[in-house]
Every structure is written in C-alpha cells, then in structure tokens.
A = this chain, B = another copy of it.
C-alpha cells in the first residue's frame, strides 16, 4: 500500500459511484474517466492490484542469476531466474530494504543482487545475505526483498502487484499453456521490441485495441493484410474481479497468405515444431492488459502499461524461433505491427485530445464496437464493486453475429 499522504485531494467516493450509476450502457464513458487523476488513483489502489500482466519473455532471463529490470504498472520490478527449472523465475520490487534505493539499475547476471548504494546484497531467492553492520536489534530475516507475485506460462512471465488481491492465475495457465507452447513461444527468442508511449488514458488505448471499426480509415496496411476474416473463439475465461480473464481465438489469414508479412511470404523459421505454414493466426489474451498474436513464423506480444490518467505505455515485442538465423532481417517481421501501432498511437492521442473538451459528451458505440462497449461495462462493474463492496449483476457478454472486417475484437476479448 502507498504510504499515507498528508495532503490529500478530497475524494468523493459517492460522486464516483453516482457517475458509474449514471452510465448509459452502449455509450462511451463520461469525461472524468478519461482525464481525472483522482479516478486514476482509485484504479491504482483498487483495480490494478487485481490484474495479472505480461512483463517478460522467458528468454530474457535465460540462466540462473539472470535478472532484468521491468515495469509493472507504476512500479519498477526485478525479474530473476533463481534456479535451473523452467518455472524458477521470481520477481521483486526494485527497492533495497536498507534505505529504499533502487537495487538494480540495469539488466545483468549475478550470484547475488547487490545494492550500489551501501552494497547490501540479496540472494536470488530474495533473502538478505548481508549481516555485517545490520543493527543487533533487527532481524535480517525480515529484511528480504518485497516479492512480486509471478507465474510462468508457455514461455511468458506474468506478474501482479499484490498476492492478497490477485485472482488465482491457475485457470489461465491451464487454458493457455498448451496453446502458447504449440505456437513455439516457449522456444522463441526476441527479434525486436519497441515502446510507444501514448498520451492518453489507458482505457482509450484498450477501447481502440478492442475494435476494428477504425481499421479501414486508420490502418490501410493492416486492413489490406488482415482485416477480412472472422475470429472463432477457442477458449475463454470468465473474467470478472475474482477470476482471471483469458481467451484464445483463431482465424484464417486472408487470401491464402502464409504469414502476416507485406507480401504474405515467410519472414522467419517455422515455430513450434511445425513442418508447414498453417495459414492461420491465433490470438491469446492474458488478463485485461496483455495480448499475443501468433502466426506460423512469428509472434507479437502487446503490453499496455497505464502510467497516469493521461499516459499509457504500449510495448510491442516480436518473437521468432530461437534457432532462426542470427542475422535474420527483422524489418519484414516487425513491419505490420510497427506501422499499425504508430497509427494507433496517433488516433488514440487525437481521441484523448478531443475528450478533454467541454464539448465532449459520451457517444454511442456501434455494433462494430461491441467488445469495446463490453470492456467499458465490465470496467465500471468492477470499479463499482471495488468501491462499494456491492455485487451487481454485471454485464453478460452476448456473442456477436459473425462478421468480417474486424481486427482484434473477438480475438482478444475474453468473457
């Protein structure tokens, strides 16, 4: 928990509940949800600690002692491989228990984690190793690093802020682990990574990600390649506050293309032990803020990281088979989602610039935005329960009529 602050904004929970209760289903949110730092603070205290998020690919901590510094919401964490088994990955808040300094300032590999300030050292499993100088009245066992709940699934590392508030991640692991391995994600390496800091509330980023109504006007490259085939849900987790949300969906690639490259031709080695291109695309959603798109020869990971009421980091990572050529040309691999995410950053920022106006009013979602609309309803239902403790029915997902022309919605939204 955040320390008590002495000067606090007058935060009106009743006013927030009122605002939630005034919501008209099928319409976008009231302005305050997109711009108000006080609502972000509520989300930070109540909603974010209930979410599992993708923080790394297992190849980033390849050997015992490998550690990396990564972002989990507004927190910097250290992800460490502490043993030789695949699942021997832990994470800690990047805070020395001596005086609170950042412990690791860059990625590395070491037998111990050593603070650069006063050289206090910690074992890979988090316990304080240092004994010298620790005052006698202090129990060093109580000075271990603050743990970050962590789980590995099919080559991906998921984390959450607080053990006490997180839903059980096991149903997600069971549902997705096989599929992720089939896609070869557990035997992949990173071909590229790029960050797209977006000046917009995280919900505008997600709303955009959950619909492809905008694809024709906004994404000519993506629309040409990708936006013609419907998704079929393979599996989906129930969602809600107490249960981890997940989903798998699959569709064919349009026009007989082998993969999602500019010309449809292969861009890397086949993944997951495949012997041939399967002509399809598989999407995975892991919680509400992490997404995976896999085709036969490469995989794209998406991390959405809320940073403030008006700032969200979007991190895209491209995976290929670990045995792909060392000098492979990565441009054809990263091209489509780089072009598309640059466009998304712009349209979402324009959306943010508009909703701040005194003329903004909630507008109607169309049928092509039903996953976005459902996300918004789910978010409000979660927030209401978290603030009041009262469980309302909550929205129920109505499977939409099959249709083409969608980018990501049916694939990424789990119900």
Complex CA–CA separation, A3 to B32 (angstroms): 6
Asked whether A394 is an interface residue with its Cβ less than 8 Å from the other chain, the reply is no
**Which B residues are CB-close (under 8 A) to A2?**
31, 358
Instruction: Note all chain B residues with C-beta closer than 8 A to A30.
Output: 3-4
Cβ-based interface call for A171 (8 A): no
CA distance A364 to B15 in the complex (A): 42
Q: Is A233 an interface residue (CB 8 A)?
A: no
Q: Any chain B CB within 8 A of the CB of A38?
A: yes
- Of A99, A138, A358, most buried by chain B (CB within 10 Å of CB) is A99
CA distance A71 to B399 in the complex (A): 44
Q: Could you say which of A58-66, A89-97, A243-251, A293-301 contacts chain B?
A: A89-97
Mark out the residues of chain A between 130 and 174 whose CB falls within 8 Å of any chain B CB in the assembled complex.
133-135, 137-138, 143, 146, 161
Task: Indicate whether A390 reaches chain B with its CB closer than 8 angstroms.
Answer: no
Tell me if A368 counts as interface (CB < 8 A to partner B). Answer: yes
A46 to chain B, nearest CB (A): 13
Smallest CB-CB separation from A139: which chain B residue? B364
Task: Contact check, B4 vs A15: say whether CB atoms are below 8 A apart.
Answer: yes
Which of under 10, 10 to 19, 20 to 34, or 35 or more describes the interface residues of A? 35 or more
With a cutoff of 8 Å between Cβ atoms, the chain B residues found around residue A368 in the complex are 133
B105 and A350 within 8 A (CB): yes
Find out whether the CB atom of B357 lies under 8 angstroms from the CB atom of A76: yes
Contact A350–B217 (Cβ < 8 Å): no
B-facing residues in A349-396 (Cβ within 8 Å):
350-351, 353-355, 357-361, 363-368
Given contacts A10-B7, A95-B357, A363-B143, contact A217 B116 (CB under 8 A): yes
Structural contact, B98 and A364, CB atoms closer than 8 A: yes
Within 8 Å CB of A42, what residues of B? 6
Would A26 and B135 be within 8 Å (CB), given that A6-B16, A358-B161 are in contact? yes
A401 at interface (Cβ–Cβ under 8 A)? Answer: no
Chain B residue contacts of A1, Cβ below 8 A: 358
Q: How far is the CA of A12 from the CA of B9 in the complex (A)?
A: 11
A178 interface residue, CB < 8 Å from B?
Answer: no
Minimum C-beta distance from A390 to chain B (A):
18
A101 within 8 A of B: yes
Among residues 3 to 23 in chain A, which have CB atoms less than 8 Å away from a CB atom of chain B? 3-12, 15-16, 19
- A97-B361, A146-B359, A366-B135 in contact; A102/B350 too (CB < 8 A)? yes
Cβ of A332 to closest chain B Cβ, rounded Å: 27
On chain B, the residues within 8 Å of A216 by CB distance are: 119
Nearest 9 A/B pairs, CB to CB = A7-B38, A93-B359, A3-B31, A146-B359, A7-B9, A100-B355, A119-B217, A133-B366, A102-B350
A and B contact pairs by CB, cutoff 8 A, 27 listed: A2-B358, A3-B30, A3-B31, A3-B360, A4-B15, A5-B32, A6-B15, A7-B9, A8-B12, A26-B135, A26-B137, A93-B357, A94-B357, A95-B355, A95-B359, A97-B363, A99-B363, A101-B353, A102-B353, A105-B350, A116-B217, A117-B350, A119-B217, A133-B368, A135-B367, A143-B363, A143-B364
